[in-house]
Structure formats: structure tokens, C-alpha cells
Amino acid sequence: MESIIELKAKMLTLGIAPGTIKNPLPDKYKFETKVVVSDRHFTNKERKILPSELILEHNGKATIVKTIFKETSPLVLHLDGEKVYVDGYEDVKVRLVKRNPADLTSPPFVGHVGVDKLSVVPFVGCFYWLEGVNCRFCGASPNPEWKKHELSIFTKNLYKVWKERKEEFLEMFEKHVQNFLRYWEGPHLHFMVMGNWVENQDAQFEIGLDVLSYFSDIAKKSDSYFIMLPPKSLGLIDKAYETGVKYIQFNIEVWGEEYFKEAVPGKHKYYSFDFYVKALKYAVDVFGEGNVRTNFVLGIQPFSKTKEGMEKLADIGVIPSYTVFHPRPKSAWRDRKPPFWEDVLEFARWHGDLLRSYGYKPYACPLSSRSSLENEAVRGWV
């Protein structure tokens, strides 16, 4: 097994502690708020100089990993300008992710993650947080700063505001998307339109659909994903297909009604586990097998249960992905333990075999998929 894979599995489960950290980061990596430096993933006072993602390279292979800083982790990261390394893994070349200059001016709706993933999120926040039914693993929380944006969960009648002024908002997104593309250096373009909960099942989906339709030229030409909650009116999924987007994705997170109720109370309240599965099946009827995706959070239910769900979904044409659970500081499950890294590796091998057996493509690529080992396993690196 490649040392970058072992290190990635450890970083995703144990987190990483800051060692020698010297200021300042070179300017090309230093973009203040959104991606390189992320409060969500950090607990140290010096967080402003710490990166939220790193590229690990060895033997001509490279992967990206999200950095979860944890003072007590046995893994220690040193950062001295562009010289970055992890104790015990000196054979691994650790690189910072060079930021797209558009990051400096873009609003929170358009963002660059990993090396080559560009996403448009038409509104900031998730109404589940306001109702107290947020997913138990979700570490995000309402940010009062968002009140200055009209497209946020603090806006009254957000859906109505969207419908009345969507042309204006779409033009604003377009300006920022084009700004990112002007400086694009990534080997691919993984283009995502995604959203969280707004008002009701169809409202959030229709807002996303308006955005996706507007950007359909980009969606047709790129590795594109429409990542939403399902609509109540399943016929809206047909409209998503007409935009030419490659994949539609509804994240189910866990397998089984009881786990669903416990882990994702908002989704349980407004849908049900059975409806979620029904929506995925409907999407396969429209998009075809291997063009519908879902995501699980690995480590919040027995691995055997997650595997059961993945097998069943893969069998009906859905590509199951996963992200490794880590207890985020502000989440309801902040005191839960993450899975063991050895178990994650074993699971990753099993999952890689599952995707290969169906000929399913893993999510994005190794330089954009930060929280799982699925790309690496399918390539036989694990």
C-alpha cells in the first residue's frame, strides 16, 4: 500500500496536530476566508495560517486530503513557508493547494475546492439548523455574517425573493464563475450545483434547477454534478436531466429507517427513508444506471449496515460514495469517536471492489475528493 494512502486514512480519522508553524504562508496560498483557511475544521488559536487541505505525493501518485486539526493527534504537521511535512512520513511530499485568484473576490455562493472542483451554491446555510433538525454530524452553524447576503437562510421568504429576482442573482453567479474559469489551471473541471434545505422539498430543488439550467453549457462540457435533496414532485428530476448534467446526487448518509431518523432528523421529518430510496430509484429511471449518486457518512452506523445499503443501491444503478466521519466541534455528535483508520482502509478496499464490479466511476478525482479513499481504491492504490 502507498504511504500517501495510509497517511490520508490516518489524517481523516485521527486529525493532525500543528507542529512547527512559521508565518507567513506565501501569498499564492494565502486567501483568507473560504477554503484554505476554514474555521470549521480547526481548533487552534493560530488557525489563520493553517491550510484546510493538503496534497500528498509519492511514487508519482497524488491525492488530496482535508486537514482536520486536532491538538491531541499523534500526527504532527510542520509548515515553514512552502516546506511542509508530517513527522514519520518524510517520504511523502506534502504540497499546499495553490488558490485560484478569483477566491479573493468571490461571494460564498461560488467556490473552488480541491485542485479542480468548482461549485455554485445558490443560497448560504440550511434551514434545518434554524429548526434544530440538522444532521447530527453537521458541523456547520448559522453565521450572522450571512445576514448581509440576500440569499441566505436569514432572508424571509427566500424562495419568493429568488423567484422575483433570479435573473439578477444568476448574472451575479455567472460573473464569478467566469472569473474562476479565467484562471483555471486544474487538469479537469468538476462542476457542482448544490444546495441545502430551503422551506420545502420542491423550493430548494427548483432554485437549484434554475441555476443548473442557466449553466447547462458548462454542465454539458464538464464532469458535472447536481447535488440536492430530492424534490417531492419527482417529475422535477426529469427537468434536471434535460439540462445535460452528468450526475444527479441525493445524499442518504445512512442505511435503514432507524439510523436515518437518528442521524438526519431533518431529512426524516420532511421525507422518510423509503421516500429517499424511492427518489433515487426514480432518478435511475430518468438518468440511467451509473448516473445517479448518493453519499454515506462512514462510521456513524456499523460498517456492515453501510455495506448492505451500498450493495442494494449499487444493484439498482446508484453509485454509492462515502465520506469518513469525523466529530466536528460544533456538531451534535462532537463527542462521538471517528472510525479506526485500519477499518477505513479495509472498507475502502471493499468499496473499490464494489465500484469496479459495476463499472461505476468514483466521485470527481483523487485531487478533488478530500474525505474518502474511493478514487484511490478504484485505481488499486489502497
Residue numbers at the binding site for ligand SF4 (CB under 6 A): 126, 128, 134-135, 138, 140, 196-197, 266
**Distance (Å, rounded) from C-alpha 26 to C-alpha 249?**
37
Q: How far is the CB of 253 from ligand SF4 (least distance, A)?
A: 8
* Nearest to ligand SF4 of 96, 135 (CB atom): 135
| Residue 66 backbone phi and psi in degrees, to 5 | -75, 140
How far is the CA of 122 from the CAs of 30, 37, 243, 265, 312, in angstroms? Answer: 25, 22, 17, 23, 32
Which grid coordinates belong to 23?
Answer: 508565518
* Nearest to ligand SF4 of 224, 295 (CB atom): 295
**Distance (Å, rounded) from C-alpha 332 to C-alpha 136?**
5
Where residue 363 falls (left for φ over 0; alpha for ψ -120 to 50; beta otherwise) is beta
Q: How far is the CB of 11 from ligand SF4 (least distance, A)?
A: 21
Q: How far is the CB of 343 from ligand SF4 (least distance, A)?
A: 23
**Distance (Å, rounded) from C-alpha 159 to C-alpha 206?**
9
* Nearest to ligand SF4 of 260, 381 (CB atom): 260
* Nearest to ligand SF4 of 140, 234 (CB atom): 140
Cβ(373)–Cβ(348) below 8 Å: yes
> Which DSSP helix (H) or strand (E) runs through 192?
strand 190-194
* Nearest to ligand SF4 of 173, 271 (CB atom): 271
CB atoms within 10 A of CB 289: 16
Q: How far is the CB of 57 from ligand SF4 (least distance, A)?
A: 31
Which grid coordinates belong to 321?
Answer: 460514495
* Nearest to ligand SF4 of 224, 323 (CB atom): 323
Which grid coordinates belong to 258?
Answer: 432507524
Alpha-helix runs per DSSP H in 157-255? 158-182, 201-214, 216-221, 236-242
* Nearest to ligand SF4 of 128, 205 (CB atom): 128
Q: How far is the CB of 136 from ligand SF4 (least distance, A)?
A: 9
List of residues 6+ apart from 220 with CB closer than 8 A: 244, 245
Which residues, in sequence order, are bridge partners of residue 64? 55
Which grid coordinates belong to 373?
Answer: 479513499
Q: How far is the CB of 132 from ligand SF4 (least distance, A)?
A: 10
**Distance (Å, rounded) from C-alpha 73 to C-alpha 109?**
33
Which residue type, as a one-letter code, is found at position 262? E
Q: How far is the CB of 46 from ligand SF4 (least distance, A)?
A: 27
* Nearest to ligand SF4 of 18, 139 (CB atom): 139
